[in-house]
Chain A
Amino acid sequence: MRKTTLTLALLASAGLAHATPADPAKSSVKFVFTQMNVPVEGQFKKFAADVAFDNAKLDASKVSIAVDLAAADAGSSDANQAMQMKEWFNTSAFPKATFTATQFKSLGAGKFQAIGQFALKGKTANLTVPFTVKPDAAKGQWFEGSFPLSRLAWKVGEGEWSDVGAVADAVQVKFKLYVPK
């Protein structure tokens, strides 16, 4: 009896492990940073997200996102070039930021938390990302969330740029992913 349940669970998770890539045309990863108290919105134009999410099978769900940091648009060509530099993303050494979550918590009312590993600029640490899930008529899923990230915790903006008076530590990350069925 126990064995059957276990087998079923394994089967179910095997079914879910088939991750679906998010539709890049409908998805976005944006960020808002604050320089001299001026909020500036930018976005990561290239990223890949693979999602296997079922709110009835959170244990078997899995999300992984890889963001191409070289394709960051920080609002101006000067800033975009600066983003590539050592002090900021150092993209030649660390071209990607990744987030992989296998642990999920339901907060009710369509709200969830993904607890996973976030790797950026050579540092990997735990990160909890809040999000909501909304199904659409085509049985696809919209994942949306927004959370503050400490840029200094991942050494984004070193040297003179570690001055939080010039660029605030908290960078708001806003993502929207559409995962078709």
Chain B
Amino acid sequence: MLRYAVERLIQAIIAIFGVLTIVFVVMHLSGDPTLLLVPQDASAEMIAQLRSQLGFDRPIWVQYLEYLGGLAHFDFGISVVQRVPAFDIVVSRVPYTAMLAAGALVVAIGMGIPAGIVMATRRGGWLERLLTAIVVTGQSVPTFLSGIVLIFLFGVTLRWLPTSGSGDFASLIMPSIALGAISMSTFARMTRISIIDELGKDYVRAGRARGLSLGSVVFRHVLRNAAIPVITIAALEIGNLLAGAVIVETVFAWPGIGQLAIQSIQSRDFLVVQVIVLLISFVYVLTSVIADFVYALVDPRIRLAR
């Protein structure tokens, strides 16, 4: 077990390090922010001077080594655009994305799991067909489209909810639904499959044979056993939600790290992008490690297979 843990951890560190390097190189290939910072009447010499003051005229490997050097002391550098530590900028936006991801998870789990249970237990009925259609719809609508439709319906036409804004509960509703829809489908599918898996097992047949109703078997035993893969999915979905947040936050002008990421890429604010990517890939890796561990703890066969 310990060896497996160490191995997994090393893999994770390598992955994060690789992400860091790839993003660093790609960002620097895309130019630097100097031209965006200078006033429109700046001369070529002035631009060159600022570029060298900001250090962007140095070879990329020098900049890379310097960046790694800073990282070693947990120094993420100072944003050249905003002139405050890049880490602080990102941290100030994290609560918004966390709120949004939590809202989306509530939507996804709150709707996905019940739907999955019904789909597994009422197989072949019209209800299952209807739910299947809803689930496929959830994953067929791009978040920006559902975003626009929601804004138009509830924001502009009915004026029930604020069209944008941040921080209060009312403005969290629409982005959460838009973001949660795709995950909802994932949860519904996973719940359905794992319940069906469980239903085929002997203890269920035995229970049914003793005269227990399907409902009580499901609620007393099946759900608990089927929960493990669903929990794993929940962990993995957090990473996907962060990625989905990029577009949803742009559509709803939600000031989280997704919106910040797009803006920072466009303003070539390298260090801020680095921190965001680092954070997201950290969450990705962390959640997948956790998911692996949950599996390994529960199911020793996986451990042996490695």
Q: Do A and B bind each other?
A: no
